[in-house]
Amino acid sequence: MSKVAEANGADAILSVVPYYNKPTQEGLYAHYCEVAASTGLPIILYDVPSRAGRGLADETVARLAEVRQIIGLKDAAGDITRPARLRALLGLDFRLFSGDDAVALAYFAEGGDGCISVTSNVAPALCRSMFLAWKQGQIARARRLAGSIALLTTALFRETNPVPIKYALSLFDLASPRVRLPLVELGTQSKAELANVLARLCAEYSESMIGKIGGSVRAGRRVAAG
């Protein structure tokens, strides 16, 4: 798959920890070395134990960081103390990205470089503004924006991702809410909660901010109207 991605113009590889087989740390190390040997593209590791059933140990990440093409980590382990530990092992050049929107701001505060985000698919301007506010030292603004993002993130994770994301994008005519089995479409209560949160955000923020969510303020008002 990495070879196909490279042949079709991909800029980099985001490679998830192998799931179901529950390999050892040595197996994970060997796996990623094999992926790196198959492509000339830079590689970001993706550690998501809740889905993969295995996590990358800090020491394994440090070993893999010595492989030239492996340049970063998408960290969805949910441990906000981890960036500080990894920095001591990896230095400043290796990129550390939160893979969990719920802890993104805390992850930045502990030394993370950014967030590979789910919520930003629906509200990219809000997520970017929060990140820039933090980088520019506007701590109060970053926290205020993080609070708004947290409301949306909570609504987006009531059911299995990407089901709520597709429904949210469908409200702005950007995607179909349909999913393939074994996933099913969002439940009625979750739909109402998500629509209400989106309507609140559309009412709270300026047109320039909301326009980048993926529709217009008019689209947001349509959400509010049901």
| Chain-centre distance for alpha carbon 225 | 29
Task: Write down the pLDDT at residue 208.
Answer: 52
Q: Note if 22 is an active site residue.
A: no
Closest CA to 43 of 35, 55, 51: 35
Which amino acid makes up residue 133? A
Answer for the pair 208, 199: CB distance below 8 angstroms, yes or no.
no
Closest CA to 123 of 209, 224, 199, 196: 209
Answer for the pair 181, 103: CB distance below 8 angstroms, yes or no.
no
Mean pLDDT over the full length of the chain? 90
The string of DSSP codes covering 121-166 is GT-HHHHHHHHHHHHTT-HHHHHHHHHHHHHHHHHHTSS-TTHHHH
Catalytic residue among 46, 107, 167, 205: 46
Task: Walk me through the domains of the chain, giving residue ranges and CATH numbers.
Answer: 1-116 (3.20.20.70), 119-226 (3.20.20.70)
Answer for the pair 146, 133: CB distance below 8 angstroms, yes or no.
no
Task: Write down the pLDDT at residue 217.
Answer: 35
Task: Write down the pLDDT at residue 91.
Answer: 87
Closest CA to 44 of 115, 135, 142: 115
For the chain, residues with pLDDT lower than 50 are 211-226
Task: Write down the pLDDT at residue 209.
Answer: 58
Q: Which two tokens stand for residue 48?
A: 């998501």
Task: Write down the pLDDT at residue 204.
Answer: 85
Catalytic residue among 3, 19, 22, 74: 74
Task: Write down the pLDDT at residue 172.
Answer: 86
Task: Write down the pLDDT at residue 216.
Answer: 41
Q: Which two tokens stand for residue 41?
A: 């593209």
Task: Write down the pLDDT at residue 191.
Answer: 95
Task: Write down the pLDDT at residue 5.
Answer: 94
Q: Note if 191 is an active site residue.
A: no
Task: Write down the pLDDT at residue 145.
Answer: 94
Looking at residue 184, the DSSP 8-state letter turns out to be -
Q: Give 128-180 pLDDT, tens digit per residue.
A: 999 999 999 999 999 999 999 999 999 999 999 999 999 999 998 889 999 99
Task: Write down the pLDDT at residue 207.
Answer: 52
